[in-house]
Structure 1
């Protein structure tokens, strides 16, 4: 065991502050990574503030961060895929049982015994796992990802959650080249959905309540922008979409978007509103439409996503900040005041 610097929340209202935390010594299949950048996900804010208490109560102190990019500093004797000096990434998972049907199919994110990068059971040190707002991390090789050298590591970090969360359902839906694809919301998830759908060759439309986002949506690759509060604008697009990715985490009228789908169209939720959404059965039945959900992706699919990003030069649009501004970033994130993801330069932690 060794000790490192980190930023942690001591309670739901305490904010984040410096803390020394332990990491396990490197075992034979482990990779030790010096963290260079860590993205800030909205899940980090929810967890640090115990806003998911009914589903996932926070254990304090908590060290958030599951969008990790760093450099390998040490590997165990049985590691074959990484060597010191390699760029590597860690996403939302650091372990699973690897024997259940989901794991055998490469769907570790659906394993009933998955271990989250932070807040999961730490079988080596006891307590819970600590995330990427820290100097380094030790992870089993199976859950470590190769980071393409041609991409900006600060912009790669959010791909480990926001990227795979949007890539997976788009890829799973099928061949979208030439199809009409809608992205609901233009935030941390939505802007990645636009980039991926465009790279796959789709005709991409962004649904937004804000006319001010039109220019940015087009810059990111959208072919058109639909103002969802404009009844006439919505009406002329009814029954025209093959697939819609809904990234909104707040309460909203999902029926309005279901009605945009053509026959056999699918809408997939990746945003997680706190309250249940009201869905009209008739909106689904008439049109044979489908409503589904999606949760990040497995390790192999996440690597596929990173390789796809390397080929198409895709990264997240990020604002790089020092760790000392993380509490300010949380306040801004709560107000959606970021384009489109914060990425923490973890070199700033050395100043603590």
Structure 2
């Protein structure tokens, strides 16, 4: 066991504070990672404040982890000391179900072991990336290409794969029209990735406040959803509507923007129930669906894609003593577009 410094929420809705946690000894197939940077995802806030239901405390959030391998177990073949690596939203799964065998570990039949706020196969709670080090089985670690600096790569382990996976699954590429709802931590990566895939990209945001940013990041068009004319002008336009916001929407209005057989994919998860009118998808065989991160092979594919196209997250680097401030700013949409913790300050 190794004692490391971390930032944890001691109870639901309590401010995070500096503490220490125990990391397991490096096993035969384990990798010990010196964490260099950890992104702050809105999911961290949902869970630390029990917005998605009962959670386990103390909680060390963080599932956007970038660092350097400092030790490997004797059976490890994929990584060596000094390698630049990342860890995303999960650190294990059953490995035996059809989904795990297909590289879709995020849909494990038994449920994946999440990076934090979960229980590992050893019966111990999992702790995330707001810490100095983490021990992870090599099969749930990915390699960060040399073309990506670790700080801007960290958010790709959630925000990047969460948007890349559905865009790829629904065939986004040249000739396709994509709308990205919301220009935040997820949305800004959705714009970058859809643009790099060759699609025509429109941002749908409440106002035009971030229009210049949206166009700079790769959007071809930027429309305000507060203007009813937007929904009239864009009716039947898009092949894919990627909804990145974690708030209830008028789904009928957004579904009306789809072409026949188009798909609205939700990657934001509201804390409250949402209302859906089935009549909105009748008649045009429109799809209303969701997508949950991506499997380990696809996460590596996403990182390689981002390196090839020079895509990193837009970040604001902070010290660990500003985590609580950052949480409030995320809730107020006051970040462009992802806070990243310099873990040397923990």
Same fold (TM over 0.5): yes
Question: Is 1:232 aligned to residue 249 of structure 2?
Answer: no
In 2, the alpha carbon distance for the partners of 1:177 and 1:336 equals: 31
Comparing 212-221 with 67-76, greater Cα deviation is found at 212-221
User: Partner of 1:321 in structure 2?
Assistant: 318
User: Partner of 2:76 in structure 1?
Assistant: 79
1:244/1:39 CA distance change after superposition, 3 Å = same
User: Partner of 1:213 in structure 2?
Assistant: 210
Q: 3-state SS of the aligned residue for 1:207? A: strand
Under a length normalisation based on structure 2, what TM-score does the superposition of the two structures give? 0.97
Q: CA deviation at 1:238?
A: 0.5
Contact 1:226–1:234 at 8 Å: present in 2 too?
A: no
Structure 2 gaps of 5+ residues are none
Q: CA deviation at 1:175?
A: 4.4
User: Partner of 2:47 in structure 1?
Assistant: 47
In 2, the alpha carbon distance for the partners of 1:167 and 1:13 equals: 31
1:119 counterpart (117, 120, 124): 117
Q: 3-state SS of the aligned residue for 1:216? A: helix
Counting matched residue pairs gives 345
Question: Is 1:275 aligned to residue 246 of structure 2?
Answer: no
Comparing 263-272 with 11-20, greater Cα deviation is found at 11-20
In 1, the alpha carbon distance for the partners of 2:224 and 2:120 equals: 46
In 2, the alpha carbon distance for the partners of 1:264 and 1:203 equals: 18
Q: 3-state SS of the aligned residue for 1:212? A: coil
1:36-83 deviation digits (Å, cap 9, x = unpaired):
000001111111122222xxx211111001100000000011111110
User: Partner of 1:296 in structure 2?
Assistant: 293
1:232-281 deviation digits (Å, cap 9, x = unpaired):
23211101111110111112212111000111111111111223332222
In 1, the alpha carbon distance for the partners of 2:336 and 2:23 equals: 33
Contact 1:36–1:69 at 8 Å: present in 2 too?
A: yes
Question: Is 1:129 aligned to residue 126 of structure 2?
Answer: yes
Q: 3-state SS of the aligned residue for 2:281? A: helix
Contact 1:48–1:62 at 8 Å: present in 2 too?
A: yes
In 1, the alpha carbon distance for the partners of 2:287 and 2:52 equals: 28
In 1, the alpha carbon distance for the partners of 2:214 and 2:207 equals: 11
* Aligned-CA RMSD value: 1.1
Q: CA deviation at 1:283?
A: 1.9
In 2, the alpha carbon distance for the partners of 1:278 and 1:44 equals: 25
Q: 3-state SS of the aligned residue for 1:277? A: coil
1:22/1:216 CA distance change after superposition, 3 Å = same
User: Partner of 2:308 in structure 1?
Assistant: 311
Contact 2:203–2:222 at 8 Å: present in 1 too?
A: yes
1:139-158 aligned within 5 A: 139-158=136-155
In 2, the alpha carbon distance for the partners of 1:275 and 1:35 equals: 34
User: Partner of 1:196 in structure 2?
Assistant: 193
In 2, the alpha carbon distance for the partners of 1:343 and 1:210 equals: 26
